[in-house]
Amino acid sequence: MLSKFNQFIEKWMALVTPACLLFGVLFPDVAKHGLPYVSLVFAFMTFTGALKSDFHDMARVLKRPFPLLACLGVLHVLLPVLACGLGHLLFPGNDDLITGMVLEFSVPTAVVGLMWVTIYGGNSPLSLSLVIADTLLAPFLIPATLQLLVGSRVSMDAAGMMRELLFMIALPALAAMSLNELTHGRVRKEWPSKLAPFSKMCLIFVVTSNSSKVAPYVRDLTPQRVLVAAAILLLAASGYAIGWFLSRFFGGDRETAVSMIYGSGMRNISAGAVIAAAYFPGEVLFPVMIGTLFQQVLAACYGKLIERKYH
């Protein structure tokens, strides 16, 4: 039954996350009871996602690191700067919305991206290495990016944010990879399939709980917030397209293209939502959470384009 549940969620992921967001917005008094447990649940999600990885995967990819470095450049230089510039252009003086846009495009690549890479025949070692590297760097890159682009205009506890990210992302990933090394890959073979349904339940829990904090802003939609949503959609779609464009410089084969498309396009929005909810005013959360409406739908659309291109 758990296996069927997992398959169902994977098949309908493009609808599941928006549905969770909708539930949290409609029933915030129910959803908010999960907020105290979000960090712990998210740490479990990271641990489960990293169980398919080990240090040898990273070593192999680092022998040809340019696709990996290109994705990191898109994720943590190009798109945050574009988000910041577009934010200032569209919402001058609104530091909360600008901060939310920058945060949305500063978080690491999404672990769930590995699912799409597998479906469309991507380069799994490259994708795994990107997830691992980005996950381990996140506690340092996110505070640094925010400090550099918006730090002088918002109150920010960079040290607290770093501790939270270490607990939620870096330490669980290191623990999972270390278990693989200590058991000579036995954990990698046995645990991911068993824990996958529980990881999906955790994703539902995290998105639903966090969306309770954005409820007042979604319920009271203004033309400005609709414009924020449109800006996030444009930037999110651009991430996938830029990854595809850059893949042409690294052989142009299907495997590399698929990994770079999803590696550059998908974001760990749940991590961004946790950070926004914990360390920033409520309006910062709106640009972050609104991304959950688009991410899986965009992933599915780009999957169709991949099939047309490489049929």
pLDDT tens digits, 68-117: 999 999 999 999 999 999 999 999 989 999 999 999 999 989 877 877 88
- Quickly list H helices, the chain: 2-11, 13-26, 28-31, 38-50, 55-62, 66-73, 79-90, 95-104, 113-119, 124-150, 158-165, 171-182, 186-219, 223-247, 254-265, 269-279, 282-290, 295-309
pLDDT tens digits, 143-171: 889 989 987 566 667 677 778 878 887 88
pLDDT score recorded for residue 79: 97
The residue type of 146 is L
Specify the pTM. 0.80
pLDDT score recorded for residue 152: 58
Q: How is 20-86 classified by DSSP, letter by letter?
A: HHHHHHH-HHHHGGGGGGHHHHHHHHHHHHHTT--HHHHHHHHTS-HHHHHHHHIIIIIHHHHHHHH
Q: What is the largest CA-CA distance in the chain?
A: 55
268 three-state secondary structure: coil
pLDDT score recorded for residue 244: 95
